[in-house]
Structure 1
């Protein structure tokens, strides 16, 4: 059995890992348009291992997040990789947000996640500088890891097991059972499309996923300078109508604090900074799509865009983050941005909230591997590969 995995982000690496686990003799080729693994979302994400209480029980996210968290903790321990087991507090700013606290607590219980509803005093015992209204949530199993360290360890293990990597290979077409790339053609019995920011484009080459397009959102974090204002993850109550969790304090694997991220609409898929990654056709396509969403105000896009654009200013991010603390006076400095590969249904003009997997004979497309895809990666890969057993 010969398999090709398109994309070497965490989902592509995990699927290659699952394929190797199931068949030690299988031919597995990972093709990647960049020069190394995890160069986009999988290397630029926050590194947070989520516990799994944000997601409704009927979602794939809920199904895989708790088990993914456990599998990552085991992987980190077995390979002696870096981890910060700092835990997470979700805090309310007013009485209205208590409803969100209760909803998240109920979801956590339904998802069999270790989650505690605590009072203000208990929250301050865990984090003296935190500010909450009456209640908070405590998630002891939310940790931080180094995404790049994990990516490289997986690559190392896969190469030792005989998995082949080809870099500088951008997919440009498909014919018969062969994938055409900028660095040659490759045939396979089965192809797994895990192309992240370009998964929809690759799917379209195969005639799949036509009802979807990718809408890029830029996530910017800012590192706190000086003494840490907090030592745990501190999150607000999110708007559960959209897939973003709001500006929060994240602890890095090195024990540093950062604030963010933004969810600013980007104008092309690799719009990290300035004109980096500029593509005229992408700019035109994304801009027209965002203009349409702005006019229609689909899923509240107009207010979302206006709220997020102001967060280009450091003071706006610092203000939102500071609302969760009794005292926050740190200066901050910008960190490298990431792009969220958010899927949009072009017919309904709605953001897709859950993972999406589409299958064709000999091809599987992973189309919406958004947060918490990193946490879910190992059990999600098992699910994706198992779909092809049926």
Structure 2
């Protein structure tokens, strides 16, 4: 079987894979790049199913990769959308408190925001009323004016158009099958050989990494995110409204998001699912994945009290009434009956450290001179994609 040769072979045409291709082409314009995608179109999985929020960057530990790249990523994608005429809604975000117990976390978010160079303000109830009259808080809230929402699919296709104009080749419906040699892989029914292979395969990144001898300490656990969308006529909020989060967990709690078309949604859930592409109850179930995932979930449930508490809370969110109950705590008024349509589910490729049984909070990169593996590219990976890709290319190439 003849080999298709290239300089850089990227596995996965999600936002991280495309951003890496852009930065590689900028740094090495003479090099050939091929991007493999197992689906027939862009955005079939995490990159096309995320919330569409461009995060400001105040949630993350100041010494983390997430903190390092989210603010700059927000700025770069904002400029990109404006330059390309892509949809962007600069609605901002308020983080509200429910009781005095939330105030220390709010102060910590403010501290992190300042450390990360993010524009963020502590505001009182009077100031909150001017910014978002319907938001409810206890004494103080956090105002993030640079949080926006975008259409992820638009950005994916714009990136692809830019890459094709630079000669980057795409192979769709070409799933990675296995490693054949040091720098050779079988994908679909084709053999590809490259100077460097970059694994940006999202939900399957850990599996591919293990074929190359990396990711041994990790496994990806899929968590399903669902939103309830509003179909009524009342535009009762104009800003994204979030609760004060539990900073020990990687999830941000039930919140209000305004999509670029003005649709209001509440959610998400963050419930474990039993296969990596198990979007509906019995869809895409794979026995080997079911066994592996349930095994690790069982270990987590019995040995990690934080996860056990998180799991019980998240399971409740499968019920529409519970989601609405949580959302009502954030506002004075909402049209409950109007939240009657479930949005398209997304699955978060959450990395688990098998040794510590802890959910990994930051991005993880492993590799050598032959291959590089992007693990745990979860939120805010979409926001951070461009500076994160630049960092990867500068450091590892």
Q: What's the TM-score once normalised by structure 1's chain length?
A: 0.98
Match of 1:282 among 265, 289, 297: 289
Q: Find the counterpart in structure 2 of residue 121 from structure 1.
A: 126
Alpha-carbon distance, 1:215 to partner: 0.7
Check the 8 A contact 2:14/2:47 in 1, yes or no: yes
* Correspondent of 2:183 among 159, 174, 177: 177
Q: CA deviation at 1:274?
A: 2.1
Shift in Å at residue 387 of structure 1?
1.8
Are 1:197 and 2:203 counterparts?
A: yes
Answer whether contact 2:228 2:266 (CA < 8 A) is retained.
yes
CA distance in 1, matches of 2:293, 2:200: 21
| Root-mean-square deviation over aligned CA pairs | 1.0
**What is the match of residue 350 of structure 2?**
342
Q: Does 1:60 align with 2:65?
A: yes
Structure 1 residue 104 corresponds to structure 2 residue 112: no
1:69-84 → structure 2 map (5 Å cutoff): 69-84=74-89
Structure 1 equivalent of residue 394 of structure 2: 386
Secondary structure at 2:177's aligned position in 1? strand
Verify: 1:239 aligned to 2:230, yes or no. no
2:367 maps to 359
Change (3 A) 1:79 1:319: same
CA contact (8 A) 2:182 2:370 kept: no
Looking at structure 1, the residues matched to 367 and 57 of structure 2 have their Cα atoms a distance apart, in angstroms, of: 26
Task: Tell me the SS of whatever aligns to 2:250.
Answer: coil
CA contact under 8 A between 1:294 and 1:302: conserved in structure 2?
Answer: yes
Distance across 1 between alignment mates of 2:314 and 2:231:
23
Q: Which one of 270, 278, 281 corresponds to residue 277 of structure 2?
A: 270
C-alpha separation between the residues in 2 aligned to 1:218 and 1:176?
35
Matched residue of 1:286: which SS?
A: helix
Q: 1:370 aligned to 2:370? A: no
State the SS of the aligned residue for 1:165. strand
Report whether the alignment pairs 1:301 with 2:307: yes
Contact 1:35–1:167 (Cα < 8 Å) also in 2: yes
Q: Which residue of 2 aligns with 1:148?
A: 153
In 2, the alpha carbon distance for the partners of 1:380 and 1:68 equals: 8
The Cα shift of 1:256 comes to 1.5
Q: How many residues align?
A: 388
Q: After the TM superposition, which segments of 4 or more aligned residues of structure 1 sit over 4 Å from their partners?
A: none
Q: Deviations over 1:23-56 (max 9, x none)?
A: 2221000001111122111000000000000001
Other structure's SS at 2:16 match: helix
- Asked if structure 2 preserves the Cα contact closer than 8 Å seen for 1:229 and 1:330, the reply is no
| Whole-angstrom distance in 1 between the partners of 2:38 and 2:31 | 23
User: Structure 2: which 5+ runs fail to align?
Assistant: 1-5
Deviations 1:116-171 (A, max 9, x none): 11001111111111100000000000000000011111111111111000111221
Structure 1 residue corresponding to 2:329, chosen from 317, 323, 326: 323
* Residue 18 of structure 2 corresponds to residue 13 of structure 1: yes
User: Which residue does the alignment assign to 2:3?
Assistant: none
TM-score computed with the length of structure 2 as normaliser: 0.96
C-alpha distance in 1 between matches for 2:190 and 2:282: 29
Does residue 40 of the first structure (1) align with residue 76 of the second (2)? no
Provide the secondary structure at the position in 1 that maps to 2:123: strand
Q: 2:262 aligned to 255, 263, 274, which one?
A: 255
